[in-house]
Amino acid sequence: MKARTLCFLFAGLGPALFPALAQDLSGILAGASRQAEKNAKIVGLRFNCDPSDCRVRPFETLVVQVLVDGEMTVSNGETRKGRLHRTPGQLKVSSANWGWVSKPFKFQGSDPGGYIDTGGGTFAGIFAKMAGDYIVADSFLYTAPETSGTYTLTDDTEGVTGEVKITVDANAPSRKKAEEVNFGPEDKSNEPYRPLVEHYAPMVAQETWWTPKADIPTRFDYDNDLLGDNNWDDLDKGTSQAYVHYAVMETSTHWFVIYNLFHPRDYSDKCVAGSCHENDNEGIILTIQKDGSQFGKLQVMETLAHDNIYSFVNDNSIRNGVHDIDGKIDFHEGSHPIIFVESGGHGIYGPSDAKTSRYNAGKGEFTAGTGITLIYKGVAERPKHANDRGVGYELLPILTKWWPYVESNAQNQRMFDEFGPYEPFGNRPGIKVGKIGHTFYGRKEAANKAKPFWGWHDNRTLKAGVLAPGEWGLDPAYGVTRDLTFPSNMAFSLDYTNNPYLGIVGDTQAAAGGAVITAGTPVAGAPGATAPFAQPSSAPAPSTGATVLPNIGAPAPSGTAPSEGWVEITATVDASVIFHVWGETVSPEILSGQAVKDQQQQFSGPIPSGFGVEWSVEKKSGRGNVKIAEEPSDANGQTLKVRVDDSKGGADRYVFRITWKRR
């Protein structure tokens, strides 16, 4: 009996059981495999590359499968040799700047087989055979560095070591499919809450796995249409530009900012019975207290991972409620909460929760393999590779990008599905529209598994009859006060002054009007490129009605732009680092070596865009090389990139000044 047959037998148990069922099944198979091969001795490791010649272009990827060979004595006393159902140790690069390796996964190609026959007829033997088909995660995705050369990867499995040589060659055949869609700048003029949303825009530590492009948060129309049932298949041609969607609600005492991270695929190396599906949308909700300051105080960050809420606080006076507090909020550059997003299933957690997070915020490292860090820049950048750092993302308002299509009579019936009423608990306000789509329309692998924030639910509060489906997102003031306990002397209003999703609008109407859909632009000359889709002529126009935020708005005009300026950066650097500079912000990208320490920067003013500007850099202190790696441009989000290479052992203190002058 094959593992896939066994899984189909469980298909009638309901989708909520599949993650737990898959985990239990994996445990059963792993235990049976170990029992069947308990007398086996590992004698060597072999390596299987895809492509077979182990050649790859810089920054592209290849798969390395580690085959564990052994010998064992079976019941009749015979010694047999062959491959074991054994998960290898973590594959590693021999030097920090030789590329990056993902966490393990089950090989997705044609497996070479060759397992030892342990007797076959026993229960353990049958399940050991199934283990080879189902649970042996023996493969790794290798991401090549920028520099061509021959690099050594090593593996240590229970004390037995082996190595494989990888050739990184700019002339190797490319395995990366050309994208057909590119999105230009967004019109941000009609977003009254945008300064608040930008201030708290999270730093996203996004883990990557064996399909890295599926792990990049992007926009629903990333493939240039509003159809949900082609998003899985359009992964190659759709854009890899990074986006995060947002929504804002407000009471007299608090703001609530919801960030949605959309992915075209929820994927796994073992897709069984609905465990993978088209479209994926997890997210976070921030509870921000109005304390009289411009942007208030972030008190609570709640994250969603597979219909479960995790709670993180920045206020020690808040206590457990229906949910326990899972940790503190970690911040990037003062105000941006850090979140860890798992690869494949894209559940979101706080880095401070060691049980769930595989990102060390203090060291800036992914602890299980590879990952990309994304920060808000106001420009949607593309990651260069599966372990990139400091990639910029753009924010998109849900009110104009998704909400106009939420009703069953909306223009496009293949964006949302499962239309029905919103029925809150606790005598809370309902919505002013009719039936709304509670799921994204998806058909590949499994139907309608992904949900916008008004379809989210939490298993614990739903089972307890505390929060109805959609209530956590549509009524975040009520939701957070059920999940956690706030001090009795803290002012906390549950009455919205602005919540357009519940039809509650402020006294001051926002300038924003109807739906604004920005179509992507097909890349010139791309095969199969089509014209951008037309803006719907009769899309329902939501009433935004956002209350104008006190003390938040665009900066006043500063007069004539300066003709020259400078930025001076001081930092302790080990090995190689690229400093990303934009506006008046500096973010280091670690290419190799340890994290940057004691970083300081001083600006004469914000750096300008790259057009018509001369750039130079002067090293004042430091033993290595400092050079401008890339000037600002639209392609990189107007980011200046300065590279520091410290070739000697250990770290050194660097001081360098970047100067610019308009031509």
- CB-hemisphere CA count at 13 Å for 271? 14
- Indicate whether 17 pLDDT > 50: no
What's residue 341's pLDDT? 98
- Indicate whether 610 pLDDT > 90: no
Average pLDDT rounded to a whole number, residues 75-97 = 90
Could you give the residue ranges of the DSSP H alpha helices within 144-199? 194-199
d(CA 254, CA 297): 9
- Indicate whether 483 pLDDT > 70: yes
State the burial class of residue 41 (Cβ atoms within 10 Å of its Cβ: 0-12, 13-18, 19+). Answer: middle
- Indicate whether 132 pLDDT > 90: no
**How many other C-beta atoms are found inside a 10 Å radius of the C-beta of residue 509?**
14
Sign of the dihedral through C-alpha 44, 50, 52, 56: negative
- Indicate whether 133 pLDDT > 90: no
Between 464-468, 531-535, 627-631, the lowest mean confidence (pLDDT) is in 531-535
Q: How confident is the model at residue 433 (pLDDT cuts 50, 70, 90)?
A: confident
Between 35-39, 120-124, 621-625, the lowest mean confidence (pLDDT) is in 120-124
d(CA 30, CA 130): 10
Element at 32 (helix H, strand E): helix 18-36
Report the b/e string of 172-190 with b at 16+ CB within 10 A: beeeeeebbbbbeebeeeb
What domains are defined for the chain? Answer: 28-168 (2.60.40.10), 181-522 (no CATH), 564-662 (no CATH)
What's residue 622's pLDDT? 94
Q: Beta strands 597-603 and 416-420: pairing type?
A: unpaired
Q: What is the pLDDT of residues 209-253, one digit of tens each?
A: 999 999 999 999 999 999 999 999 999 999 999 999 999 999 999
Average pLDDT rounded to a whole number, residues 434-444 = 94
Closest CA to 372 of 358, 385, 357: 385
Q: How confident is the model at residue 74 (pLDDT cuts 50, 70, 90)?
A: confident
Asked if 649 and 621 touch (Cβ cutoff 8 Å), the reply is: no
Strand order in the sheet with 92-93: 55-56, 160-168, 149-157, 92-93
State the burial class of residue 463 (Cβ atoms within 10 Å of its Cβ: 0-12, 13-18, 19+). Answer: exposed
Hey, what are 256's tokens? 């609530």
**DSSP label of 228:** G
Q: What is the pLDDT of residues 152-209, one digit of tens each?
A: 999 999 999 999 999 999 999 999 999 999 999 999 988 999 999 999 999 999 999 9
Q: How confident is the model at residue 140 (pLDDT cuts 50, 70, 90)?
A: very high
Which are the contacts of 282, defined by CB distance < 8 A and separation ≥ 6? 260, 261, 303, 304, 305, 306, 341, 346, 347, 348
What's residue 117's pLDDT? 78
Asked if 144 and 133 touch (Cβ cutoff 8 Å), the reply is: no
What's residue 41's pLDDT? 92
State the burial class of residue 1 (Cβ atoms within 10 Å of its Cβ: 0-12, 13-18, 19+). Answer: exposed
Q: How confident is the model at residue 129 (pLDDT cuts 50, 70, 90)?
A: low
State the burial class of residue 614 (Cβ atoms within 10 Å of its Cβ: 0-12, 13-18, 19+). Answer: exposed
d(CA 546, CA 499): 8
DSSP three-state, residue 620? strand
If you average pLDDT over every residue of the chain, what do you get? 85
What's residue 518's pLDDT? 36
**How many other C-beta atoms are found inside a 10 Å radius of the C-beta of residue 164?**
20
pTM of the model: 0.77
Please measure the distance between the N-terminal and C-terminal CA atoms of the chain and give it in whole angstroms.
Answer: 73
Which are the contacts of 577, defined by CB distance < 8 A and separation ≥ 6? 571, 588, 589, 590, 591, 593, 596, 643, 644
Closest CA to 195 of 619, 558, 597, 550: 550
181 — phi, psi (to 5°)? -130, 140
80 — phi, psi (to 5°)? -120, 145
482 — phi, psi (to 5°)? -90, -40
How many angstroms separate the Cα of 398 from the Cα of each of 145, 247, 372?
37, 6, 24
- Indicate whether 89 pLDDT > 80: yes
Q: What is the pLDDT of residues 267-305, one digit of tens each?
A: 999 987 678 999 999 999 999 999 999 999 999 999 999
Sign of the dihedral through C-alpha 568, 574, 578, 581: negative
- Indicate whether 553 pLDDT > 60: no
- Indicate whether 362 pLDDT > 70: yes
d(CA 95, CA 210): 22
- Indicate whether 521 pLDDT > 50: no
- DSSP line for 460-497: HHHHTTSS-TTHHHHSHHHHHHHHEE--TTS----SEE
What's residue 436's pLDDT? 94
The three-point CA angle 104-110-115 to 5° equals 75
Between 326-340, 350-364, 540-554, 645-659, the lowest mean confidence (pLDDT) is in 540-554
- Indicate whether 8 pLDDT > 60: no
What is the residue type of 619? K
Closest CA to 367 of 127, 171, 90: 90
Q: In percent, how much of the chain has pLDDT > 90?
A: 68
Hey, what are 255's tokens? 């703001």
- Indicate whether 10 pLDDT > 90: no
d(CA 69, CA 130): 18
- Indicate whether 123 pLDDT > 70: no
What's residue 542's pLDDT? 33
What's residue 134's pLDDT? 56
- Indicate whether 360 pLDDT > 90: yes
